[in-house]
């Protein structure tokens, strides 16, 4: 009878341990003075580019603008700018007025702006070119409190910032097995990331790229519960507790 009591107590404590194991510890043993380079966004196929051209003579640059003369000087919403943006096609090019086809994919906004500036100097005196990706978005789903699609105005966001925007992890989240789905123009790339290891911070997946999709998987205990395994164990634990009370 004593051995039976001990076994039942052990079963009860095991279930209790599993049910209380939802605490998450991220970034173990981060070294001091860790420095990470802040990358600039790379233009990719399917991007919508806002290309702003200016010079001392506004009339000389007007022919290169998607925006009509009647709209110059007015405030344009993000959605309106998307309608007027330049689409990077499947070959990585945009069609630019007067100049023609230009290769954009694979360049940073700064480098592409410098390329356009060089082309414009044949027509415009001292042109200034600014480029922004209008449809820089990332999405997250799974075990976060507020899943969804998030616009990134400054074209720079880390995975940890995205998780924060999404309200943080739920109690079921498994931070050691987060899936990132990345479109690399010609193929889809998938990678599982361990957020409990500081090595992740120095990887190419710490900063997200436009159109990255993130899926936070549930932990093993939550999966087992969802499939009924731990539900049955919980029932057994309740039964074991009842038996313990009876045999005392």
What are the tokens at 78?
């993000």
Residue 168 has pLDDT above 50, yes or no: yes
Provide long-range contacts, Cβ within 8 A and 24+ apart, for 31-36.
31/198, 34/198, 34/201, 34/202, 36/201, 36/202, 36/206
pLDDT of residue 209: 94
Sign of CA dihedral 206, 207, 208, 214: positive
Q: Strand, coil or helix: what is 205? A: coil
Average pLDDT over residues 171-190: 91
The pLDDT confidence band at residue 5, using thresholds 50, 70 and 90, is: very low
Average pLDDT over residues 159-179: 94
pLDDT of residue 114: 96
Size of the chain, expressed as the number of residues it contains? 248
What integer best gives the mean pLDDT of the chain? 79
pLDDT of residue 56: 82
Express each pLDDT in 86-110 by its tens digit.
999 999 999 998 899 999 999 999 9
Average pLDDT over residues 8-13: 40
- CB atoms under 10 Å from CB of 120, counted, come to 22
Where is pLDDT greater, at 187 or 82? Answer: 187
Residue 149 has pLDDT above 60, yes or no: yes
- Domain 48-133 of CATH type 3.40.50.300: no
Average pLDDT over residues 61-78: 58
Residue 195 has pLDDT above 50, yes or no: yes
Residue 13 has pLDDT above 50, yes or no: no
Return d(Cα 195, Cα 94) in angstroms, integer.
38
Average pLDDT over residues 163-176: 94
Average pLDDT over residues 48-58: 88
HEC per residue, 120-189: HCCCCCCCEEEEEECCCEEEEEECECCCEEEECCCCCCEHHHHHHHCCCECCCEEEEEEEEEEECCCCEE
Percent of the residues in the chain that have a pLDDT greater than 70, as a whole number: 70
- CB atoms under 10 Å from CB of 124, counted, come to 20
What are the tokens at 72?
């110059």
Residue 131 has pLDDT above 50, yes or no: yes
Where is pLDDT greater, at 58 or 71? Answer: 58
Q: Give strand pairing partners of 189.
A: 182
Give me the residue spans of the domains in the chain: 2-20+225-247, 48-133, 137-218
The pLDDT confidence band at residue 201, using thresholds 50, 70 and 90, is: confident
In CATH, the number for domain 137-218 is 3.10.560.10
Site of tokens 């900063």? 207
């Amino acid at each position: 009878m004593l051995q039976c009591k001990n076994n039942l107590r052990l079963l009860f404590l095991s279930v209790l341990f599993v049910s209380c194991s939802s605490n998450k510890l991220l970034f173990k043993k981060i070294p001091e003075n860790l420095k990470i380079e802040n990358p600039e966004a790379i233009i990719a196929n399917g991007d919508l580019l806002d290309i702003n051209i200016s010079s001392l003579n506004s009339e000389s640059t007007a022919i290169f603008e998607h925006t009509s003369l009647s709209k110059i000087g007015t405030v344009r919403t993000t959605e309106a700018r998307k309608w007027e943006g330049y689409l990077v096609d499947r070959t990585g090019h945009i069609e630019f007025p007067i100049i023609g086809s230009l290769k954009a994919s694979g360049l940073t906004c700064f480098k592409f702006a410098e390329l356009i500036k060089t082309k414009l100097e044949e027509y415009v005196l001292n042109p200034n070119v600014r480029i922004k990706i209008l449809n820089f978005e990332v999405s997250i789903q799974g075990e976060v409190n507020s899943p969804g699609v998030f616009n990134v105005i400054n074209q720079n966001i880390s995975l940890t910032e995205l998780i924060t925007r999404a309200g943080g992890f739920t109690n079921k989240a498994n931070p050691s097995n987060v899936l990132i789905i990345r479109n690399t123009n010609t193929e889809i790339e998938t990678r599982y990331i361990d957020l409990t290891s500081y090595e992740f911070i120095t990887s190419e997946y710490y900063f997200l790229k436009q159109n990255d999709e993130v899926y936070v998987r549930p932990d093993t205990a939550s999966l087992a519960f969802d499939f009924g395994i731990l539900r049955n164990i919980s029932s057994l634990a309740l039964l074991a507790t009842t038996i313990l009370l009876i045999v005392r």
